[in-house]
Structure 1
């Protein structure tokens, strides 16, 4: 009867298939070879099909065995996931880690920290959003996310706990073929020089910067809703703007972008901005969130 199938039988079946023989499987399972053979024989009797062709030197999966091996692996994977999730519930581990990241922070670093967290808590699901300016703060205040990464000091809030991670270097750049790039004077450009050209500016999806502009020097602006759009338009030569160093490092090295010779946006056109790991003060972090935070801090060298 199929109802009499056991997880042990299915696990034995998978190990035999992966090991290529009963003897190898018995060593992996730390069981007598006869016990492994008996388990497979019982499984075949219950399923009503032969899983292995035993006529050769080594058992070979039959077509039926190959098809059912997929099902067995799927069942075991789901059971293992269920066990891990139940264990996490018992330990107070979160079912999901929700994270909103400022567009200025490198996602590769976030991904590396999430990978470390998942290696410890594989049952924890991840929900990730990327947002500029006041977006991460809104996400935490409105309880849509557990953790956030914010850049700069403009959106500090007493309800939000902050942990410094790393310094992001913002650099004023322009495409090499843009007039500001082609005709770079030896002298430093002043604000009026930059104001003669279109500035690519990131819009705030929240209302937290309403009535304020950060680093906008030109009356001619092109406002975009995401960082990729800003980067692409600057790279295409539409206008100038500030971008994080990690995003433009290769373009600067290979000559597609050039640094603007201006002190109007920081010395040497460079302005440091601190990045923070943030969460609501009234919502303590669970084990997975703490593990992620520690990994991220270490990766950032904080």
Structure 2
């Protein structure tokens, strides 16, 4: 009987479980509710299991249904990946390529990879967005981006695959006239000292980090929506914060900014995170995307050498 299972039945089961009712599942699939109910009932009969408890106002997954749901989602992900790979083999060059880049990653490196790709595919239109925190992942989920460059391990989704690229370093910095800089010239700065001063932090424009804060130490915060704003406020002495080393290297060399003299925020006040190339499992890379990825990997390999 299991050989008679169909992808339609599995997709219908997942849609009903995800939407919370047969009516909502039918609406999501643009199908009649009776057809959805029949597909799920046939799946239950073929599996010999009751997937939903229908005794209440809304259908509720049984313990067996919960277990089967995980398998069903995994099957659909693998099927979508197979279809995406098959489409990619015979695909023409894309008309456009959308890329979302984490604000912590040097956009100049992405730009060099784009330039290398366009030498091979000059007709491709590029859409590039630079987004903080959960922005690049959200762009992939919403299909606003074909691929994304993300930094760190805080944002993950089973629909997205990740490939490590290169480390990105962030440095805790402050303007030389700030009280924390003055204190740091006398002794090691402690966390209790840092917490007494305003911290400049990036705000997440998505719901990906709802209820969570990353690297926030001070109860006094100023939240900004761009890395440029964060940099400007730190340089002008409003507060302290972490910024990518590639962005503040010249500021540190010229003395416009100084590292916080503390061992509480990493050695030399420096934190290392991995950057990742991310893409949807069900979206194939066309020739232009593959060219971009190849160029990007060569560039980050050269930077590591």
SS at match of 2:164: strand
* 1:103/1:227 contact within 8 Å kept: yes
Return the offset for 1:266. 1.7
Return the offset for 1:261. 1.5
What does residue 223 of structure 1 align with? 223
Over alpha carbons, which structure has the higher Rg? 1
* 2:97/2:289 contact within 8 Å kept: yes
Return the offset for 1:96. 0.3
**Residue correspondence of structure 1 range 102-181 to structure 2 within 5 A:** 102-181=102-181
Query: How many Å separate the matches in 1 of 2:214 and 2:265?
Result: 10
**What is the TM-score of this pair, normalised by structure 2?**
0.68
Equivalent pairs counted in the alignment come to 213
What does residue 191 of structure 1 align with? 191
Once the two structures are superposed, residues 106-152 of structure 1 have per-residue CA deviations (whole angstroms, 9 ceiling, x without a partner) of 11111110000000000111001110000000000011110101010
Return the offset for 1:187. 3.4
Return the offset for 1:186. 4.6
**Residue correspondence of structure 1 range 238-257 to structure 2 within 5 A:** 238-257=238-257
SS at match of 1:279: strand
Return the offset for 1:164. 1.1
**Stretches of 4+ aligned residues off by more than 3 angstroms:** none
* 1:215/1:265 contact within 8 Å kept: no
Query: How many Å separate the matches in 1 of 2:203 and 2:234?
Result: 15
Query: How many Å separate the matches in 1 of 2:263 and 2:284?
Result: 42
Query: How many Å separate the matches in 2 of 1:112 and 1:297?
Result: 11
SS at match of 1:123: coil
Return the offset for 1:210. 0.9
Once the two structures are superposed, residues 172-218 of structure 1 have per-residue CA deviations (whole angstroms, 9 ceiling, x without a partner) of 00001111112314532221110110000100011111111111010
**What is the TM-score of this pair, normalised by structure 1?**
0.69
* 2:171/2:244 contact within 8 Å kept: yes
Query: How many Å separate the matches in 2 of 1:148 and 1:91?
Result: 21
What does residue 9 of structure 1 align with? none
**Residue correspondence of structure 1 range 199-238 to structure 2 within 5 A:** 199-238=199-238
Query: How many Å separate the matches in 1 of 2:123 and 2:170?
Result: 37
* 2:165/2:275 contact within 8 Å kept: yes
Query: How many Å separate the matches in 2 of 1:225 and 1:233?
Result: 12
What does residue 100 of structure 1 align with? 100
RMSD of Structure 2 on Structure 1 (CA)? 1.3
| Structure 2 residues without counterparts, runs of 5 or longer | 1-89
